[in-house]
């Protein structure tokens, strides 16, 4: 279970994290980016796409599998 207090610490630090989450079809995805905001039961997550463009994703907390500071090193799960 991911605790709201841990998410708030990540938002305050502004550090890059790796987020693994389940999509609506049951597949899991891992993306690197920053958590911008915690709203109700979801987060707003910013991902850089590579061409100086950002994508903002809204991901519900119950779909998050893990958050990591670096790939392979669990921070919260």
CB proximity list for 56: less than 8 A, separation 6 or greater: 36, 44, 45, 46, 47
Question: 33-75 pLDDT, tens per residue?
Answer: 999 999 999 999 999 887 888 999 999 999 999 888 765 555 5
Instruction: For the chain, list the domains and their CATH numbers.
Output: 4-71 (2.30.30.520)
CA pseudo-torsion sign 2, 73, 49, 29: negative
Q: What is the pTM of this model?
A: 0.81
> Phi, psi (5° rounding) for residue 43?
-120, 155
Q: How far is CA 44 from the centre of its chain?
A: 8
């Amino acid at each position: 279970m991911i605790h709201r207090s841990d998410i708030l610490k990540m938002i305050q630090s502004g550090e890059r994290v790796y987020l693994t989450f389940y999509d609506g079809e049951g597949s899991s995805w891992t993306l690197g980016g920053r958590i911008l905001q915690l709203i109700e039961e979801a987060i707003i997550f910013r991902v850089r796409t590579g061409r100086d463009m950002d994508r903002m994703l809204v991901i519900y907390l119950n779909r998050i599998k893990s958050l990591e500071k670096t790939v392979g090193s669990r921070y919260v799960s």
